Structure 1
Amino acid sequence: MILNIKEIFTAAMVLFAVIDMIGNIPIIIDLRSKVGIIQSERASIVAGIIMIVFLFLGKSILNLIGIDVNSFAVAGSLILFFLALEMILGITLYKEDSTTPNTASVFPLAFPLIAGPGSLTTILSLRAEYETINIVIAIIINIIFMYIVLKTSEKIEKFIGENGISIIRKVFGVILLAISVKLFASNIMGLFN
């Protein structure tokens, strides 16, 4: 277990880009208008637990079904690539189920909006390259940030505005695209060794 500030920062930024809490503010506001109050604490804690449990058990689950971490990381890099394209181009490649929930704290907010396929794949992809403790710290940083965003989503939307949210999504989309290419390049070699 080696604490590495660079790894923590990179993992936190990757998760921040994938989870896209700023870009999800309009969705959060829409959910709040449909279901009333969103329990920010509950949503953040449940999402954090899902991500940390997947960090530790995801590899075992993969081994159980006969998939190595490099293969999963390559697949994850492709998902990140398409998520980045969605963010940059403003298109939707993946459509969520559009049923209206009774409560939005756990479903669809904690899962799959925050701890969804993109973030879970990213966590395992990061595990192929970084120390586990650094990823846990990065997850906790993102949980704290999620909680703050959930608590202040309406104020943030008014302050940043639609154009600001759009610019932030595009910037993080480009960062995510570069990270997905790096992740693909570093793990594709592992498949052939």
Structure 2
Amino acid sequence: MLNIKDIFSVTLILFSVIDILGSIPVIIALRKREGHIHSLRATIISGVLMILFLYLGQSILKLFNLDVGSFAVAGAIIMFILALEMILGITFFQEDHGSKGTGSIVPLAFPLIAGAGTLTTILSIRVVYETPNILIGILLNLVFVFIVLKSTDWLERKLGSSGFSILRRVFGIILLAIAVKIFKENIFVS
């Protein structure tokens, strides 16, 4: 049942879709705005979302009479807004002063880590790989996500403010392109 090759394949597929390294500028910007990112909370919530979608994804979407394409488009719109924030240096997601620290959940846990792309990919790879192999691939990715989230202070110090500004805009354009791609691939799916 467990297959090392399949686990490795699933891990790499999810690693490329989650793209936690590409999200570093967003994470740093969120940490600056929120004051602190709850790394463990964001990792656990992301993991719960991914594992729920592994086992119940199709059922959850059917419960709300949604298709995977609609779910992906909704996530793409949020990613699009985040990308505009990164590129233009403006803020669309206004702080709710009564709920400081929610940035660890939205937009960090969802849609950046366990976003529409990740959850849709999990639904797709269930057809090819066995569930235990996918579960291990998810857990391996979550360990890496946690390490990156815990390292953002160090990464920001190494980058400096000008390096961070450049990196934020470059990855903002990449995130914008990913959002447009997800939107384009799913807008006419019925």
Q: Which category of TM-score, normalised to the shorter sequence, fits these structures?
A: 0.5 to 0.7
**Structure 1 gap ranges (5+):** 84-92, 178-193
Superposed displacement of residue 19, structure 1: 0.9
C-alpha distance in 2 between matches for 1:151 and 1:9: 24
Superposed displacement of residue 111, structure 1: 1.3
1:98 aligns with 2:98: no
Residues 66 and 94 (structure 1), Cα distance of their counterparts in 2 relative to 1, 3 Å cut: closer
Could you tell me whether the CA contact under 8 Å between 2:27 and 2:149 is conserved in 1? yes
Paired position in structure 2 for 1:4: 3
C-alpha distance in 2 between matches for 1:135 and 1:24: 22
The C-alpha deviation readout for 1:97-122, integer Å capped at 9, x for no partner, is: 63345321112111111111111001
Could you tell me whether the CA contact under 8 Å between 2:8 and 2:137 is conserved in 1? yes
Paired position in structure 2 for 1:180: none
1:51 aligns with 2:50: yes
Superposed displacement of residue 17, structure 1: 0.9
Task: Name the SS for the 1:95 alignment partner.
Answer: helix
Paired position in structure 1 for 2:89: none
Superposed displacement of residue 37, structure 1: 1.2
Taking structure 2 as the reference length, the TM-score comes to: 0.66
Could you tell me whether the CA contact under 8 Å between 2:25 and 2:167 is conserved in 1? no
The residue identity in structure 2 corresponding to 1:126 is I
C-alpha distance in 2 between matches for 1:148 and 1:20: 13
How much is the aligned-residue C-alpha RMSD, in angstroms? 3.3
The residue identity in structure 2 corresponding to 1:99 is Q
Residue range with higher mean Cα deviation, 101-110 or 141-150: 101-110
Paired position in structure 2 for 1:116: 115
Paired position in structure 2 for 1:131: 130
Residues 159 and 135 (structure 1), Cα distance of their counterparts in 2 relative to 1, 3 Å cut: farther
Residues 164 and 9 (structure 1), Cα distance of their counterparts in 2 relative to 1, 3 Å cut: farther
Taking structure 1 as the reference length, the TM-score comes to: 0.65
Identity of aligned residues (%): 46
Could you tell me whether the CA contact under 8 Å between 1:47 and 1:114 is conserved in 2? yes
The C-alpha deviation readout for 1:158-187, integer Å capped at 9, x for no partner, is: 5586799979xx9xx9xxx9xxxxxxxxxx
Could you tell me whether the CA contact under 8 Å between 2:43 and 2:142 is conserved in 1? yes
The residue identity in structure 1 corresponding to 2:129 is Y
**Structure 2 gap ranges (5+):** 83-91, 182-190
Could you tell me whether the CA contact under 8 Å between 1:25 and 1:157 is conserved in 2? no
C-alpha distance in 2 between matches for 1:38 and 1:62: 29
C-alpha distance in 2 between matches for 1:34 and 1:147: 20
Could you tell me whether the CA contact under 8 Å between 1:42 and 1:105 is conserved in 2? yes
Paired position in structure 2 for 1:182: none
